Amino acid sequence: MIDVLFALVLLALVGAVVLLFAMFGELTARLPTLDIGYLDPTVTPLREARLGSAPDYWPEQLAPLLDANDGSALLLVLSTACGSCENVAEQLTNEIDQQSSIDTGVVVSCGDRRLGENFIERHGLDGMPTYVDEGGEWVIASFGVQTSPSALAIRHWRLESAAVFTDVVALRAATTDIEEVAA
């Protein structure tokens, strides 16, 4: 019996070593996102956006997101040529495990499709609904939006509100406040 207990204790110690390594590996993977720096929490309404507009079509990469959320979603418009957008993408990778992004999609505006795909892969955004918008054509034609990073709140398949932001947490808080007021 003592031998079995000793072997159990040994297994528990090995379990602790495995746990330490797993935490160490996760911390190492998160290192690039720990040095993001100061984030401006201001969320400013985006005046150029055509509120109430609905796109002529929804890309197949984004349609399931809206189907799953009754025509509602938060679309984040990022650009491969925008430094703040790199910052926002880093914040999103940390957010994925917190389930905050369950109704969020990302539209990556870029000059060349390969740049957009590289952006998505680099930031590990392929676990979210993402759409590579070459030349930003879809976002401009559908919502009149040419600014990034920006957030488009879609309700019942139409653009309800749009904002410019740099802090994802502040954006989430602002979105929650709007929803509570509407309710």
* Residues 22-41: x where in contact with another protein by CB under 8 A, - otherwise, as a string: xxxxx-xx------------
> Could you tell me the two tokens for 72?
């509602």
Point out which span in 3-11, 46-54, 146-154, 167-175 binds another protein (CB under 8 A): 3-11
Choice between 10 and 81, CB closer to another protein: 10
Our finding on whether 14 is near another protein (CB under 8 A) is yes
- State the Cα–Cα distance between residues 84 and 80, nearest whole angstrom: 10
First to last CA, the chain: 62
- DSSP-derived letter for residue 128 is S
Spatial CB neighbours of 154, under 8 Å, sequence gap ≥ 6: 66, 71, 72, 73, 74, 75, 160
Our finding on whether 124 is near another protein (CB under 8 A) is yes
Point out which span in 16-24, 78-86, 140-148, 152-160 binds another protein (CB under 8 A): 16-24
- State the Cα–Cα distance between residues 85 and 69, nearest whole angstrom: 25
From 96, 115, 140, 170, residue interacting with another protein (rule: CB under 8 A): 96
Q: Is the backbone peptide bond immediately before 59 cis, with ω within 30 degrees of 0?
A: no
Positions touching another protein (CB under 8 A) are 1, 3-4, 7-8, 10-11, 13-15, 17-19, 21-26, 28-29, 64-65, 68, 96-99, 102, 124, 126-129
